[in-house]
Chains A and B, each alone.
Chain A
Amino acid sequence: MLAKVLSAALVGIDGVLVEVEVDISNGLPSFTIVGLPDQAVQESRERIRSAIKNSEFSFPTKRITVNLAPADIKKEGPSFDLPIGIGILMASEGIDLKLKDPFLLVGELSLDGSIRPVNGIISMTILAKNSHIDTIFVPYENSSEAALIPGINVYGVKNLTELVGFLNGEKILSLASPARAIRINEVKGDFSEVKGQEQAKRALEIAAAGFHNVIMIGPPGSGKTMLAQRLPEILPLLTEEEALEVTKIYSSAGLLPKGGGIIEERPFRSPHHSISLAGMVGGTTNPRPGEISLAHNGVLFLDEFTEFRRDVLEALRQPMEDGTLIISRAHGSVRFPARFMLVASMNPCPCGYLGDTKKACTCTPYQLERYYSKISGPILDRIDIQIEVPRLETETLIKGSSSENSVSIKKRIEAAREFQASRFKDGIRANGLMKPSDIKKYCRLKPPLQSLLREIVDKFKLSARSYDKLLKVARTIADLAASEEIREEDILEATQYRILDRKYWEKKFS
């Protein structure tokens, strides 16, 4: 007899509908799975056999053929255990199905018949909902995660017996309730702990308010890392839509803690500079999200920016432009969301002492040129805010007493975000994400300010591209002051944040 149940496979971070067909016919007892299963799926035969037997159902001693359709997508992992098991029971008439509506099943079976959690539940639930399937059965431990998606019945099941009982109409299961918020970032401390560096703090506030990419240049020990690590504390919470996007990525990467949960804070990722290309953008034959996707809607902090491999840095270009990354593999291409705020930090020169008041920089001009050429123009073009973070004398540190805490900085940023949101009507989420056409539309300047901007570009020999960057940053500065129009002081202050454009290192001897 033939039975069909629906399940889902994970491709990248999206679910794809998979129909599990089970045919039981007379013949020599066998158990075959076809439809591009990988090793884990092949092994599921053994788990299913034991789980069914240990749940006190009978495993048919007949010829069993399982097809996972569509047959051209590679099926990975153990999440097909449950649908195949249920399929076998249905085909061997172990289940008298009372549920007439279509439903979707995912879960890994344990040998004793209990159901273990799997990755990517959110994506699969979204898929079920979009395919007009009313009910989804998921492992109990994933159920609160799945319940984050409204408009679909989510049942968390603990074991095979329970599920079969429900499908037979003998048992009642309660609907799962949505997960609570969880924290993913380690709390590193408060902004008030950073003494001095008022300009850097201000720049990070602007960056956070407008979701601008930032590069910090400063000698070792000047506090670049300390500043960056405190960024999550001042970033506004994710919007509902964003939270779901982020949680979906973490769910499919298997990074949600046991019991699941929804991520409401902006992720902060700081991969080490030895990271591989696959680790950064996502990879392997069946692509998994890389660091840039894990930083989606949050911060990607690259400490020692120039130490990263060139190809790794260059791979950031496309996602920085589009907010998504497309990885093409033999079995088709996968899209990963990757709209992150880049925060990079680097030393001013290879020896670290360029610009130091006490110690001489021992780098030759040639070394400096090579060092700065590591960050390519196209990358630099995508970084709106460039600041210097010098090493401060203890004296200055003590004198600079103003140290605002993260909470009050965050309040200003949230207000600025709301101010932006009320302006943008076409899905732009922050100033830093404006495209050139949006800049024309949203950053209009009065004629006197236009000539001021032109004067600045001439005077400081800025490139034509930095014109747009200045406008974007000026827009955010105005938003922080709740000003509808970009004012003179906004443009002037924005100029402070284009330090690299001004051929920083060439001034060594002049």
Chain B
Amino acid sequence: MGEEIFLKEWIILNLIGRCKSIKDLFSKGLSTREIIESLSLDRAKLTEITARAEEEYNKAKDLGIEIIPLSSEEYPPLLKEIPDPPPTIYVLGKKVWLDNVSVSVVGTRRPTRYGIDATKKIITQLVENKIGIVSGFAYGIDTVAHTEALKMGGVTIGVLGTGVDVIYPKVNKWLRRSILESNSGCLISEFPIGDEPEAWHFPRRNRIISGLTSLTVVVEASMKSGAMITASYALDQGREVCAVPGNIDSENSQGTNQLIKEGAKPVTTGEDILEELNIIPTFRSRKVIPDLEEDEMLIWNLLEQPKMEEELIVLTGLEINRFNTTVIRLELKGVLERLPGKILKRKDE
């Protein structure tokens, strides 16, 4: 019973929202009641918030959402350290930060092929070394990051800019389901249950993304993007920032290249990040070269990097019908993947 009252008081604090002052008062050793009092809200307002907190508590119970207060041992330890941690976080799914070291991977909502491939490449190596992936559950790089982590059997945390029960963006419904069903990931948010997406939520949410981990990787970001905001939060929080360098002409690499100029570590592989985390990389034995016929091998060997079919036709010099059948054979063998723009790439297992 005491615990229930205690938690409700934390919810009140979360609804008041003045994260920085609350943390300061908390670290001075004040109890929740004392913190509420010292924030000196007017009576009417406090009554209203108390009623809402009651409601939140019941809703969370009904929906199976866990509310973790700042004081809890289950509260993400790194997030506790930032200047303005949310007084409570709402969690749906498995609390994976308890067993895994994670890094944050963020980037533009409108990635290029390069950004998508870079994200996948880096995440593959991170997941192989049991690193969890934190990202913002938005379109683009975020979606790639979560998806790839799950595909590789890793853990992932999606930090939402809405209430944890709200599906946003709508098209990521499937991703939400696969994170929750995988039992190796969770969705977290500081926003009350049922909170709809608002423009100001997202920059605020970014401090949690960077706050959850000791290192943030920016994959592709234009100068003005949420990913850049996340990077500057990470720096304010005294966390490491890494950036994936890109083409100097590409709009999507302006931000990342700028970060590198300002001293962020340029990373091109997952190993670079592991090194930064002082983790000695272990590598799963690379996939054995599949059993291929002559023509198939010809194409396979040229696919160290993804290539356009048109280019492969020229490089292999195969007759067009022969080329077409060989590509389908490789696809049937499950070693080749086809991407929009007639791009072929080796399928990574």
When the two chains form the complex, which single residue of B108, B110, B321 contacts A489, counting CB atoms closer than 8 Å?
Answer: B321
A window 169-223: CB within 8 A of B: 196-199, 201-202
Which of A236-244, A289-297, A360-368, A422-430 has 4 or more CB atoms under 8 Å from chain B? A360-368
Q: Could you tell me the distance between the alpha carbons of A367 and B12 in the complex, rounded to whole angstroms?
A: 40
Q: Let me know if A371 is at the binding interface, CB within 8 A.
A: no
Report how many residues on chain B are interfacial, defined by Cβ distance under 8 Å: 43
Q: Let me know if A440 is at the binding interface, CB within 8 A.
A: no
B140-A358 in contact (CB<8A): no
A360-B328 in contact (CB<8A): no
Contact with A along B310-343 (1 / 0, CB 8 A): 1101100000111111011101101000111111
B139-A390 in contact (CB<8A): no
B324-A202 in contact (CB<8A): yes
- Kindly list chain A residues whose C-beta atoms are within 8 Å of the C-beta of B115: 360
Q: Let me know if A504 is at the binding interface, CB within 8 A.
A: yes
5 cross-chain pairs, A with B, having the tightest CB-CB distances, nearest first: A355-B341, A355-B340, A492-B325, A365-B171, A492-B328
B309-A489 in contact (CB<8A): no
B310-A198 in contact (CB<8A): yes
B110-A493 in contact (CB<8A): no
Q: Could you tell me the distance between the alpha carbons of A509 and B146 in the complex, rounded to whole angstroms?
A: 11
B343-A493 in contact (CB<8A): no
Q: Let me know if A501 is at the binding interface, CB within 8 A.
A: no
Q: How many A-B residue contacts, CB cutoff 8 Å?
A: 117
B310-A392 in contact (CB<8A): yes
Report how many residues on chain A are interfacial, defined by Cβ distance under 8 Å: 45
When the two chains form the complex, which single residue of B110, B311, B340 contacts A505, counting CB atoms closer than 8 Å?
Answer: B340
- Kindly list chain B residues whose C-beta atoms are within 8 Å of the C-beta of A489: 321-322, 325
Contact with B along A483-505 (1 / 0, CB 8 A): 00000110011011000001011
A360-B310 in contact (CB<8A): no
Q: How far is the CB of A370 from chain B (nearest CB, A)?
A: 11
B332-A509 in contact (CB<8A): no
Q: Let me know if A388 is at the binding interface, CB within 8 A.
A: yes
Q: Could you tell me the distance between the alpha carbons of A488 and B310 in the complex, rounded to whole angstroms?
A: 23
When the two chains form the complex, which single residue of B114, B324, B331, B342 contacts A459, counting CB atoms closer than 8 Å?
Answer: B331
- Kindly list chain B residues whose C-beta atoms are within 8 Å of the C-beta of A199: 309-310, 313, 320, 323-324, 342
Q: How far is the CB of A389 from chain B (nearest CB, A)?
A: 8
B308-A198 in contact (CB<8A): no
- Kindly list chain A residues whose C-beta atoms are within 8 Å of the C-beta of B310: 196-199, 390, 392, 396, 400
When the two chains form the complex, which single residue of B169, B308, B325, B332 contacts A493, counting CB atoms closer than 8 Å?
Answer: B325
- With A360-B108, A492-B324 known as contacts, the answer to whether A366 contacts B343 (CB < 8 A) is no
B328-A493 in contact (CB<8A): yes
A366-B170 in contact (CB<8A): yes
- Kindly list chain B residues whose C-beta atoms are within 8 Å of the C-beta of A202: 320-321, 324
Nearest-CB residue, chain A, relative to B338: A502
When the two chains form the complex, which single residue of B110, B171, B314 contacts A360, counting CB atoms closer than 8 Å?
Answer: B110
When the two chains form the complex, which single residue of A348, A362, A392, A460 contacts B340, counting CB atoms closer than 8 Å?
Answer: A348
Q: How far is the CB of B64 from chain A (nearest CB, A)?
A: 28
Nearest-CB residue, chain B, relative to A388: B342
A495-B328 in contact (CB<8A): yes
Q: How far is the CB of B69 from chain A (nearest CB, A)?
A: 35
- Kindly list chain A residues whose C-beta atoms are within 8 Å of the C-beta of B110: 360-362
- Kindly list chain A residues whose C-beta atoms are within 8 Å of the C-beta of B313: 198-199, 400
A window 449-482: CB within 8 A of B: 455-456, 459-460, 477
Q: Could you tell me the distance between the alpha carbons of A282 and B27 in the complex, rounded to whole angstroms?
A: 80
Q: Let me know if B143 is at the binding interface, CB within 8 A.
A: yes
Q: Let me know if A441 is at the binding interface, CB within 8 A.
A: no
Q: How far is the CB of B306 from chain A (nearest CB, A)?
A: 9
B111-A396 in contact (CB<8A): no
B324-A365 in contact (CB<8A): no
Contact with A along B78-122 (1 / 0, CB 8 A): 000000000000000000000000000000101111111000000
B252-A357 in contact (CB<8A): no
24 cross-chain CB contacts under 8 A: A196-B310, A348-B341, A354-B341, A357-B114, A358-B112, A360-B108, A364-B139, A365-B139, A365-B171, A366-B169, A366-B170, A390-B310, A400-B310, A400-B313, A456-B328, A459-B331, A460-B331, A477-B321, A496-B324, A502-B338, A507-B339, A507-B340, A508-B340, A509-B147
Q: How far is the CB of A58 from chain B (nearest CB, A)?
A: 76
Q: Let me know if B24 is at the binding interface, CB within 8 A.
A: no
